[in-house]
Amino acid sequence: MNWIIELTREAERFLVYNRVSREEVFQLIRSALTKFRGEDVNIDVKKLKGKWLGFHRIRRGDLRVIASFDFDKSRVHIEVIDWRGSAYK
């Protein structure tokens, strides 16, 4: 099934300014979707609480991707891509 991946302007800006490739982030999303299907994948995904209720955090090194997954519409909305200390602000 094909998933639609949307990025906010803030996430796009992070990719450009920090020279992180879109493909690298999309690979993290694909790995998270594989993990949600129940397969054993080595990726750190966590459901968030509080202000970020309904979002998941994907962690790789110091990079954080905060995204919401709509399984009914096969859509991923990436809200924030940032470094470890700044992602949750």
Residue with tokens 């979707």: 33
**In this predicted structure, what is the pLDDT of residue 89?**
67
**65 three-state secondary structure:** strand
> What pLDDT, in 10s, does the model give residues 38-68?
999 999 999 999 999 999 999 999 999 999 9
**In this predicted structure, what is the pLDDT of residue 84?**
87
**In this predicted structure, what is the pLDDT of residue 7?**
95
| Dist. CA 63–CA 36, nearest whole Å | 20
**In this predicted structure, what is the pLDDT of residue 85?**
79
Residue 1: pLDDT above 90?
no
Average pLDDT value for the chain: 92
- CATH class for the region spanning 4-83: alpha beta
**C-alpha of 72 from chain center:** 18
Contact 32, 43 (CB under 8 A): yes
Please report, as a single letter, which amino acid is at residue 9: R
